């Protein structure tokens, strides 16, 4: 049950992560849009204020003794408090006067091009406008209005912090609600899975009785072939073979349906080296029939804590799988060694191999690669799924590496446990 909970928990985490990634992306886009719109609006307002200042200064300027001067009623002091400045230029663009602290030191352009300059840590913005004589309408000079962007930058910094804090708080609240939503979303799936597993177990259990009855009757009929035709005996043998396959399928399905309860069994110290040697002896006739070299390379005693019957089933399935996928004159080797407190047992073969895109599917129930079908005789694609389930229930892992046309290697990792 623990493994299934981990699977559903992992699925919930993936759903929650996907939800948060999408929501965070939308929040980021929204925050960026707010900043762009606000920055544009604030910048336009500053430009308008600067234009008004420049136009007012140009309208109140007059030529006196060959020099540009402002009228006496122009509010010069407000320029200092509002972080603005004014500069006057003659027709040759020579500076003839300035007022205010925040003025540009760049050459004055001939048009109304906006200028930017950074003096120390303060950014400045300025625009140059022509000064037209009110009497005859001729050009008498230029005036450049400038302003500090210190308050502008400060406002944008505060906006960035406010948006960042808002996004973080929203994501935290969303993650809390996301956990609740993903749990609600997964409940029907978990319930459906439990009902499906219960149905599989019940159906497999109920199928055992009629299959046993069919097997018993077929065996009785085959024991007395005198009263039947040869063609009938052939049909009975076909029925016996099909019944045997159905029986193995129901047993495998029943084992998978009940695999979550295996961990509650009483565990004992198991001599894994002995199990592997016994399996090699057991499968030598099958390997010999295909002219496959089946061997074990075990150099040290191996002990783990677990169920000997279930561990035998694990490695029996792996050896059967290796023999079925290995061609004639191939080799299947069993290796085992200790690395610290971990025991690694490997079943290596020189079989047809598994394509890289299929490696993640080999442990799925009823899955078989198309290319493998022509080499597989019998079986339903449940052996590796059963092996992985049993290894997980022992607190270990079952992994695979493979190369097409070279072979595969299935590795079982278990915690070593030696008798005291």
pLDDT at 265: 54
Mean pLDDT of 67-89: 72
Q: Strands 139-148 and 293-298: what pairing?
A: unpaired
pLDDT at 314: 87
> 3-state SS string over the chain?
CHHHHHHHHHHHHHHHHHHHHHHHHHHHHHHHHHHHHHHHHHHHHHHHHHHHHHHHHHHCEEEECCEEEECCCCCCHHHHHCCEEEEEECCCCCEEEEECCCCCCCCCCCCCCEEEEEECCEEEEEEEEEEECCCCCCEEEEEEEEEECHHHHHHHHHHHHHHHHHHHHHHHHHHHHHHHHHHHHHHHHHHHHHHHHHHHHHHHHHHHHHHHHHHHHHHHHHHCHHHCCHHHHHHHHHHHHHHHHHHHHHHHHHHHHCHHHHHHCCCEEEEHHHHHHHHHHHHHHHHHHCCCEEEEEECCCCEEEECHHHHHHHHHHHHHHHHHHCCCCCEEEEEEEEECCEEEEEEEECCCCCCHHHHHHCCCCCCCCHHHHHCCCCCCCCHHHHHHHHHHHCCCEEEEEEECCCEEEEEEEEEECCCC
13-27, 108-122, 306-320, range with the lowest pLDDT: 108-122
Q: Which residue has the tokens 């950074």?
A: 118
pLDDT band for position 87 (50/70/90)?
Answer: confident
- d(CA 413, CA 344) in angstroms, rounded, equals 5
pLDDT at 206: 57
Mean pLDDT of 38-58: 89
pLDDT band for position 371 (50/70/90)?
Answer: very low
6-15, 123-132, 330-339, range with the lowest pLDDT: 6-15
pLDDT band for position 359 (50/70/90)?
Answer: confident
Instruction: Give the model confidence (pLDDT) of 128-183 as tens digits.
Output: 988 888 777 788 888 888 999 988 999 999 999 999 999 999 888 888 888 887 77
Mean pLDDT of the chain: 79
Q: Is pLDDT of 263 > 70? A: no
Domains of the chain in start order, with CATH, are: 2-157 (3.30.450), 266-415 (3.30.565.10)
Mean pLDDT of 16-41: 90
Q: Is pLDDT of 333 > 60? A: yes
Q: Is pLDDT of 5 > 80? A: no
Q: Is pLDDT of 211 > 80? A: no
Q: Please tell me the pTM assigned to this model.
A: 0.49
Instruction: Give the model confidence (pLDDT) of 384-408 as tens digits.
Output: 887 888 888 888 899 999 888 888 9
pLDDT at 349: 92
Order across the sheet with 114-119: list the strands.
95-99, 84-89, 139-148, 122-132, 114-119
pLDDT at 199: 54
Instruction: Give the model confidence (pLDDT) of 217-252 as tens digits.
Output: 667 666 766 667 667 777 776 776 666 656 665 665
């Amino acid at each position: 049950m623990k493994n299934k909970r981990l699977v559903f928990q992992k699925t919930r985490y993936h759903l929650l992560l996907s939800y948060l990634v999408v929501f965070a992306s939308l929040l980021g886009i929204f925050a960026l849009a707010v900043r762009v719109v606000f920055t544009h609006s604030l910048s336009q307002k500053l430009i308008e204020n600067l234009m008004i200042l420049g136009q007012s200064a140009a309208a109140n300027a007059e030529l006196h003794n060959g020099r540009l001067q402002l009228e006496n009623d122009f509010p010069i002091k407000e320029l200092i408090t509002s972080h603005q400045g004014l500069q006057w230029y003659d027709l040759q663009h020579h500076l003839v006067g300035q007022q205010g602290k925040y003025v540009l030191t760049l050459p004055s352009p001939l048009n109304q091009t906006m200028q930017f300059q950074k003096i120390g840590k303060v950014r400045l913005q300025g625009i140059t406008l022509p000064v037209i004589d009110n009497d005859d309408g001729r050009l008498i000079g230029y005036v450049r209005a400038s302003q500090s962007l210190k308050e502008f930058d400060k406002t944008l910094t505060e906006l960035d912090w406010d948006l960042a804090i808002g996004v973080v708080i929203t994501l935290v609240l969303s993650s809390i609600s996301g956990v609740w939503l993903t749990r609600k979303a997964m409940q029907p799936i978990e319930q459906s899975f439990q009902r499906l597993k219960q149905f599989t177990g019940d159906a497999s259990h109920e199928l055992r009785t009629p299959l046993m009855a069919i097997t018993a009757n077929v065996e009785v009929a085959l024991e007395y072939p005198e009263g039947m035709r040869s063609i009938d005996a052939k049909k009975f043998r076909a029925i016996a073979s099909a019944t045997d396959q159905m029986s193995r399928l129901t047993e495998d399905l029943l084992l998978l349906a009940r695999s979550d309860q295996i961990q509650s069994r009483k565990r004992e110290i198991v001599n894994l080296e002995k199990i592997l040697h016994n399996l090699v002896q057991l499968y030598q006739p099958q390997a010999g029939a295909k002219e496959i070299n089946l061997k074990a390379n075990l150099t040290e005693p191996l002990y783990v804590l677990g169920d000997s019957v279930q561990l035998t089933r694990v490695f029996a399935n792996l050896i059967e799988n290796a023999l079925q996928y290995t061609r004639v004159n191939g080799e299947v080797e069993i290796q085992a060694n200790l690395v610290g407190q971990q025991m690694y047992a490997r079943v290596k073969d020189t079989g047809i191999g598994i394509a890289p895109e299929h490696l993640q599917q080999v442990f799925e129930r009823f899955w078989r690669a198309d290319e493998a079908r022509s080499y597989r005789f019998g079986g339903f694609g449940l052996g590796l799924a059963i092996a992985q389930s049993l290894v997980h229930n022992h607190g270990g892992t079952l992994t695979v590496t493979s190369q097409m046309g070279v072979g595969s290697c299935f590795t079982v990792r278990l915690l070593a446990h030696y008798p005291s």
